């Protein structure tokens, strides 16, 4: 979908094709562009309003097809709802809803001329750019594996022109948001991709291709190198698979050279398929486990977004890529692994594999980069879904300030998080009969014991947060207009926002 910005129309004749999208405040008061459309069509909107139940609620539509006196295919009147609901997120949702509506109507071109009603918490310039971001996010499709009935799935809308008070200013502001959408799309693509295609080496190759283009330094460590360095926990998970495990290290150095700031680090769980290993999952529990690399995808997408918008920050992304399979060489329940940190782990359930991958990735990241903060993302536990469902990711942190900042970034981006406790009481549940720890807690508080396990690999003084994204990385039920695919791309937006607010110079 092509999105551009255009000056507001002065007369109805300025819009010569496609849909003309105009707005009404709640209570049906037509805003100026809608008034122009109404006049030019001989009062078509006013007449339509009289015979409809349209109330101007947020996302409500009134459509007049083939209006007499105009060249456009339709006038689409959009309700803006209450002015105070028109914040950035509200606008994105609205932009997404308009796209969904025009898609199902088979429209290919649209001119959007929505206006800010009095009392809205956004400026006219933001109105255009955040509507446009919503439009872009809603236009995402993943249809590369379809070969039949493509018209049923491809999106018809090709061109959206959004009116802005100063189109040049809007274009510039949108560049950063568009980079963000690129990052979200990369994450969605990686998560949607099937596991026979996106095995660890293929994930690493795609990360390298996408990120090298925007100036991110990408290194890939294979099994031989990781073995040499002692990644016993990560390699243990991968050893039952025919596919080689990989560690990808991505560095973006965007901070001014004078400031030799330590980087902020993002660490992702990248289990390209989680069968459970020898502690094998039941059939239904295995479906969707191609998405068990969503943490790694979010980290990769974030690195793309930061680099593409030239964020003034030093950031590193480290992702552990493995496939958890029950091959003849697979780790057994009862095996003991020696992690990169030197700590030993008794593996009692091979399906608790994500924490093993993250343990080594976390150690590597801290020892190599001495980061200002480490944030890891992982589809780590089914227990977090029991706890928080699909609305919030679980947040665990050893740093109240970092936790508050993440919560705030989540509220502004729609990627909401909810903090859960860490406590020595839970840590005790990880005691092993023969090794430094076991890889499972007990039957209860599974998301917390998983976080406690990770905490054992956090070095003194490291500011750390863990996001358990098992409930939010993909969706099987109803979809939001701006998240139209199975994979949500969750994580890119909250991390990009955190960086923008707190780590950029």
Residues with catalytic roles: 281, 355
**Residues from 290 through 329 that contact ligand BES (CB under 6 A):** 292
> In 61-146, at which residue ranges do the beta strands (DSSP E only) sit?
61-65, 74-79, 109-113
Draw the binding track, 334-373, toward Zn ion (x: CB under 5 A; -: no contact): --------------------x-------------------
Burial class (CB in 10 A: 0-12, 13-18, 19+), 125: middle
Instruction: Pick one of 88, 92, 113, 274: the residue that binds Zn ion (CB under 5 A).
Output: 274
Q: Which residue minimizes CB distance to Mn ion?
A: 351
8 Å CB contact between 467 and 403: no
Minimum distance, C-beta of residue 276 to Mn ion, in the bound complex (Å): 6
Q: Nearest approach, Cβ of 358 to ligand BES (angstroms)?
A: 11
CB of 434 to ligand BES, least distance (A): 19
Which of 415, 412, 447, 414 has the alpha carbon at shortest distance from 429? 447
Taking the complex as a whole, how short is the minimal distance between the CB of residue 440 and ligand BES, in angstroms? 4
- Residue 466's φ and ψ, nearest 5 degrees, are -120, 130
Phi and psi of 317, rounded to 5°? Answer: -120, 130
470 binds, among Mn ion, Zn ion, ligand BES, none (CB under 5 to 8 A by kind): ligand BES
Interface positions, 424-453, toward ligand BES (CB under 6 A): 440, 446
**DSSP assignment string, 436-504:** SEES---SS-HHHHHHHHHHTTSPTT--EEEEE-TTTSB-SS---TT--SSB--TTHHHHHHHHHHHT-
| Contacting residues for 255 by C-beta, under 8 A, at least 6 apart | 261, 312, 313, 314, 505
- Decide: is 38 part of the binding site for Zn ion (CB under 5 A): no
* Separation in Å, CA 422 to CA 265, 352, 450: 21, 19, 10
Select the residue interacting with ligand BES from 88, 113, 351, 376 (CB under 6 A).
Answer: 351
Is 202 among the residues that bind Zn ion (CB under 5 A)? no
Q: What does 60 interact with, of ligand BES, Zn ion, Mn ion, none (CB < 5 to 8 A by kind)?
A: none
Q: Is 376 in the site for Mn ion (CB under 5 A)?
A: no
Q: CA-to-CA distance for 503 and 71, rounded, in angstroms?
A: 50
Distances from the Cα of 317 to the Cαs of 180, 263, 396, in angstroms? 16, 10, 19
Told to check if 468 binds Mn ion by CB under 5 A, we report: no
376 binds Zn ion (CB under 5 A): no
Residues 363-392 that bind ligand BES (CB under 6 A): 379, 381-383
Residue carrying structure tokens 């100036």:
215
d(CA 301, CA 400): 26
Which CA distances in Å does 379 have to 135, 239, 288, 354, 359? 28, 20, 11, 8, 14
Residue 113 engages Zn ion in binding (rule: CB under 5 A)? no
Q: Is 353 in the site for ligand BES (CB under 6 A)?
A: yes
> Cβ closer to ligand BES: 142 or 390?
390
Give, in degrees to the nearest 5, the angle at Cα 265 between 262 and 269: 160
Does 274 help bind Mn ion (rule: CB under 5 A)?
Answer: yes
CB of residue 358 to Mn ion, shortest distance in Å:
12
Stretch that binds Mn ion, among 168-176, 252-260, 270-278, 335-343 (CB under 5 A): 270-278
Q: How far apart are CA 311 and CA 376, in angstroms?
A: 20
The interface with ligand BES within residues 252-271 (CB under 6 A) comprises none
Of residues 205 and 281, the one with the C-beta less far from ligand BES: 281
344 contributes a contact to ligand BES by CB under 6 A: no
Q: Which is nearer to ligand BES, 154 or 332 (CB)?
A: 332
Residue number, 23 or 245, with CB nearest to ligand BES = 245
Q: Residue 375: beta bridge partners?
A: 266, 465
Determine which helix (DSSP H) or strand (DSSP E) holds 92, and give its type and residue range. Answer: helix 88-104
Give the bridge partners for 24, in sequence order.
30, 79
Considering only the stretches 45-53, 266-274, 298-306, 413-421, report the one whose residues sit in contact with Zn ion under the rule CB under 5 A.
266-274
By beta-carbon proximity to ligand BES, the closer residue of 299 and 470 is 470
The site for ligand BES, by CB under 6 A, has a size of 14
Q: Which is nearer to Mn ion, 356 or 388 (CB)?
A: 356
Site residues (CB under 5 A) for Mn ion, limited to 342-371: 351, 353
Residues in contact with 441: Cβ distance below 8 Å, sequence separation at least 6, in sequence order:
426, 429, 430, 448, 449, 450, 452, 453
Which of 193, 274, 415, 427 touches ligand BES by CB under 6 A?
A: 274
Give backbone dihedrals phi and psi of 467, rounded to 5 degrees, phi first.
-110, 115
Q: Which is nearest to 293 in space by CA: 268, 314, 317?
A: 268
Residue 138 neighbours by CB distance under 10 Å: 26
Binding Zn ion by CB under 5 A: which of 189, 292, 323, 427? 292
Nearer to Zn ion, 112 or 396 (CB): 396
Which CB, 292 or 427, lies closer to Zn ion?
Answer: 292
Spatial distance between the Cα atoms of 237 and 354, rounded to a whole number of angstroms: 8
CB closer to ligand BES, 96 vs 277: 277
Q: Among Mn ion, ligand BES, Zn ion, none, what binds residue 468 when CB lies within 5 to 8 Å by partner kind? A: none
Residues engaged in binding ligand BES (CB under 6 A):
274, 292, 349, 351-354, 379, 381-383, 440, 446, 470
Residues engaged in binding Mn ion (CB under 5 A):
274, 351, 353
Residues engaged in binding Zn ion (CB under 5 A):
271, 274, 292, 354
């Amino acid at each position: 979908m092509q999105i551009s910005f255009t000056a507001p129309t002065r007369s109805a004749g300025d819009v010569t094709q496609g849909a003309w999208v105009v707005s009404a405040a709640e209570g049906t008061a037509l805003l100026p562009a809608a008034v122009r459309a109404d006049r030019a069509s001989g009062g078509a909107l006013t007449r339509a309003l009289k015979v409809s139940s349209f109330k101007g609620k947020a996302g409500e539509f009134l459509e007049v097809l083939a209006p007499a006196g105009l060249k456009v295919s339709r006038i689409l009147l959009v309700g803006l709802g209450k002015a105070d609901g028109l914040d950035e997120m509200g606008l994105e949702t609205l932009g997404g809803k308009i796209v969904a509506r025009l898609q199902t109507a088979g429209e290919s071109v649209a001119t959007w001329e929505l206006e800010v009603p009095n009392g809205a918490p956004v400026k006219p310039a933001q109105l255009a750019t955040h509507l446009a971001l919503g439009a872009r996010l809603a236009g995402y499709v993943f249809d590369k594996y379809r070969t039949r009935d493509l018209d049923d799935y491809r999106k018809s809308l090709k061109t959206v022109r959004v009116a802005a008070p100063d189109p040049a200013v809007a274009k510039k502001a949108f560049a950063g948001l568009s980079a963000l959408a690129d990052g979200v799309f990369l994450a969605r693509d990686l998560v949607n991709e099937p596991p026979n295609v996106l095995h660890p080496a293929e994930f690493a190759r795609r990360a390298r291709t996408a990120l090298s283009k925007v100036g991110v330094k990408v290194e890939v460590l294979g099994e031989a190198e990781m073995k040499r360095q002692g990644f016993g926990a990560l390699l243990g998970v991968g050893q039952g698979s025919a596919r080689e495990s990989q560690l990808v290290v991505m560095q973006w150095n965007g901070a001014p050279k004078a400031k030799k700031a330590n980087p902020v680090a993002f660490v992702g769980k990248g289990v390209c398929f989680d069968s459970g290993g020898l502690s094998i999952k039941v059939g239904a529990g295995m479906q969707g486990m191609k998405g068990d690399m969503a943490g790694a995808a979010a980290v990769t997408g974030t690195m793309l977004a930061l680099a593409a918008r030239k964020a003034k920050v030093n950031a590193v992304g480290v992702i552990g890529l493995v496939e958890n399979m029950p091959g003849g060489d697979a780790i057994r329940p009862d095996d003991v692994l020696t992690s990169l940190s030197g700590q030993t782990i008794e593996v009692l359930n091979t399906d608790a594999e994500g924490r093993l991958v993250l343990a080594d990735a976390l150690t590597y990241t801290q020892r190599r980069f001495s980061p200002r903060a480490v944030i890891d993302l992982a589809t780590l536990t089914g227990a977090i879904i029991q706890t928080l469902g699909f609305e919030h990711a679980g947040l665990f942190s050893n740093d109240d300030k970092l936790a508050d900042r993440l919560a705030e970034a989540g509220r502004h981006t729609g990627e909401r998080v909810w903090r859960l406790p860490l406590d020595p009481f839970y840590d005790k549940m990880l005691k092993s009969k023969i090794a430094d720890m076991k890889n499972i807690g007990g039957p209860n508080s599974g998301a917390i014991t998983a976080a406690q396990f990770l905490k054992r690999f956090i070095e003194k003084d490291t500011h750390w947060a863990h996001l358990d994204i098992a409930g939010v990385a993909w969706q099987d039920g109803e979809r939001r207009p701006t998240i139209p695919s199975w994979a949500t791309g969750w994580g890119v937006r909250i991390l990009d926002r955190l960086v923008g607010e707190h780590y950029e110079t």
